[in-house]
Every structure is written in structure tokens, then in C-alpha cells.
Structure 1
């Protein structure tokens, strides 16, 4: 009985050991399979990672190419911007040059218009002078004819009919003057009966004491700023213009009679500024006028100068800003003025 139980125990033990051995082998196989499976999965994952890395490297390279293209495009855009800036700068310079040219052309046009008005005034004045001289000559001739006719000294063929031409007038006047006032005439009146004697006859015709009275006075009514080089001071208020020799458009004295004249000018500088002007005759400076304001609270200064000069008929005298010195502001309100008058005639 005991042997059977021992054998049974033994058999059971052996069965149990065999079973345990089988289980261990199965577990090892399972673990091995699991490890192999994990390795396979890791290999697959590694392959996927390599593919992803390769794709990312390609994308990185594409990004670098794109970045390079963008940098090149940015450089090109910067170059275009610089060109546009230079073009804009050149355009501004061109506009400035055109503006300066337009201003110069405007000044030339204004000067041409002033010259045209001056010439028109001169032509009108000469025309009026000619008409006046002709009228005086005709009246004198009529008086001489009446006196000669009354004395029975005028031949019927020499009587004037209406208006006579200038040669006939000159010859008749000279002949009549020689006959009726020969004891008072100098030899220059008795040379001949041609038109060369006309200037002397004109002086003889002009009655004594009829010398023109010429004087003017003008001032600036308002302040000026931004005066340009050699710009004429526009004296706009004329308080005296005896002889009508001061042109209110040109702001210039136009000499109507050759003689010795006095011209004077006063200026007031702007506050804390200085100004230099000059009295000029036909563009040539005669005297300078300087007013130099100080830096105190009321920094104005008054300048004055005058000149005595010979002035021929047709010459022009005006006041302008000095070309190289002085500021650009001038005070008006009757502080800045220009005046002149005839001392004596040299005609």
C-alpha cells in the first residue's frame, strides 16, 4: 500500500515537474516571440522615422531654397526701392529746377512787360512832345505870318494853307526870326535856313521861365518779406509827382529833362534784422542805404542816404535791394521812402 502511494506520489511529482518544465518552455517561447515582435515593430518604427527624417530634410532643403529666393527677391526689392528713392530725389530736383526756371522766366516776362510799358510811355511822351512842339511851332508861325502880312513883307505864294510840313515850318521860323530879331540872335541862328539850326531854334522858341518843375516823393505802405536779390522796392504810395516823372507801375523815376538831380531814400529794417538797399541809375549803384537792427526788444534801425547826380533824359533811377548784403525783410508804414527833385536843367 505504501509502495503504491509512493509510486503515485512519485508519478505525480514527475508529472508536476514535467508540467512545470513545459510551462517554463512555453513562457520563454512566448517572451521570445514578444521580443521579436517588439524588435520588428521597432525596426518598422525606425524605418518610418528614417523616411520622415528624409522627408523633413527635403522640406528643409526646399525651405532653404525658398529662403534664398526670398532673400534675392528682398535684395531686388531693396534695389528697386533705392532706385525709386533716387528717381524721386531726381524728380524733386528737376521740379525745383523747373520752378526756378519758371521764376526766372516769370521775372524775364515781368521785366519785358515793364520794358514794354516803359517804351509805350516813352513813345507816348515823345508823341505828346512832338505834338506840343508842332502846335507851338504852328502858333509861332501863324503869329509871324500875321506880323509879316501886316507889314506887307509876306509874298502870297509863301502863305501857309492849313498845317505845313516840318521843313517849311523850320525854314519860315528861322527866316522870320532872322528878319525881325536879327540884332538879338547869336550867329548860330543866322547860319542857314536848314533843319540843322532846329535845336537852337527850339531853345529860342521856348519862352524864358518855362523850365519844368520836377519833384516826386513816394513811400512803402506795408511791410515786405522775402525780398530777392536786386529786387526793386515797390513804393506804392505817391505823395508828390510834379512833372509825372515817377512811374507808379515800375516804381522808377524816368528822367524827362536832362539836368542835375537830388535823390534820397530812407529804409527801416525788420525787427532783429538788417537791410541794405541802393539807389541805382540805369542799373549802376549810386549810394547804399544800410539799416542794422539790434537784438534788443525793439530791434529796428533806420537808414538814410542821398546823392546829387547828373541825369540825362530817358535815364531811370530806382531803389533796389543790394545784391550781396542784407536780410530779406523791410518795414513799410511810411518808414521806407524814396524822393527826388531837379536842381537845374542842363538842356
Structure 2
């Protein structure tokens, strides 16, 4: 009889669980298909990430020293620097008396004659500093050298006036102030300069040439061999030139005809250097 009551009860319990599970599955399925539910879950996940990120930033900020701590560290550093400067001053004042005392003790242990000689030797010994040696010696700044020399690599047919002679073969160009493509020297600094140029002529060729500084004529030479000689003419100037000034050699306004010669038998050239 008891068995008859137990069996129906178990069947009812199993049936009830099945119905409840089915209902729960239906609810979950409805939530999964609900767009608002999905958006709410996604929003919650985003908020959780934001909270975690904020926690990390708060943790990092808590590790930083506060403004008062920064001020305290800065003040401590300033005090330490002041102490170091004070100690360095005291040490520098003590060094000279100590050296003098050491030299005196050495001299006292010697005979009068040797002591006198040793005193002179110690005071002039290069390895032992003295009060006089503490004075800063004047130093001279090395002056940069400026010099150039260039010549024509071949004969040049020139009959125009004010034609710039671009001496194209450069032998010396200390300071890189001479520019062979334009035939112009541009002064890298102000000073007193020497310039010299040589022109070779032969036969019926003749030219007037002039050296100019910023288009101002400083010196002129003229050579006309008269079909009787093969020779050269040279001009020299000593002139103050300012930084950035242009110095060049050009043909004169008159008396220009034929070739300016330059070969192994004699070269037409241009040179210059600074005196100070």
C-alpha cells in the first residue's frame, strides 16, 4: 500500500521539475532574443571595464609624491647644494696654507745653504703650485689662416670690358673663401689682406686688368707686348677688407684685345692671403 503512494508522488515530482526547466529555458531564450537585454548586458560589461581602468589610474596616482613632498625634496636638494658650495670654498682656502706649511717643514729639515736652494727650487718647481701659479694666464685665440692661389688652366680669348677672370685651377684654398667658378674671393672675416695677380701676354694681344673690392677699383695693370715680347705683368695690393666683401680681377673698360695666355711657359694667376 505504501508503495502505491510513493510511485505517484515521484512521478509528480519529476513532471514538475521538467515543466519548470522548460519554462526557465523559455525565459532565457526570450532574453537572448531581446535586443534591449543584449544592449544592457553590453553596457554593463563596458562599465565594468571603465571601473577597472579607473582603479588602475587611481592606484598609479596614489604612488606619485604629493605637492608637499615635492617641495620638501626640492628644499632638501637646495640645502645640500649650499653645503657643497660652502665646503668647496673652505677646501680651496685651506689648500694654499697647507702647501706652504709642507714646503716650510721640508726647508727646516735642511742645512741653511741647502734650505735656501730648496726654497727657490720648490717655489719654481712646475709640479708644485704656488700662489702666483693660481693666477689665470692670458690665452691667445689661434687665428684662422686664410690664403688662396689659382691660375688659368689654358689660354682665354677675352675682348669684353669688365669681364671677370675666373682662375679655374686651384692650388691653395685655405678657408675655402675663393670660388673658382665665379673667380671671386669672399672674405670670411675682416682684416688686412694682400692680393696679387699676374697676366701673361704675347704677340699682338694686350689687356688692361684691374682688382676690385665690392666693385671698387683698387689697382690696375696694362700689358701690351707690341708683337715683340712674350711676358707677364703683375699687380699687388694691400687693402683692408670687411667680412663678406667680394674681391676679384676683371678686364678694364678699355684696351682689351685677343688672348690672355697661360701654359707651362708662364701662367696667368690670382692669389691672396690675410695678414691679421
TM-score by length of structure 2 reads 0.48
Richer in strand (by share):
2
Bigger relative contact order, structure 1 or 2 (CA pairs below 8 A, ≥6 apart) = 2
Greater helix fraction, Structure 1 or Structure 2: 1
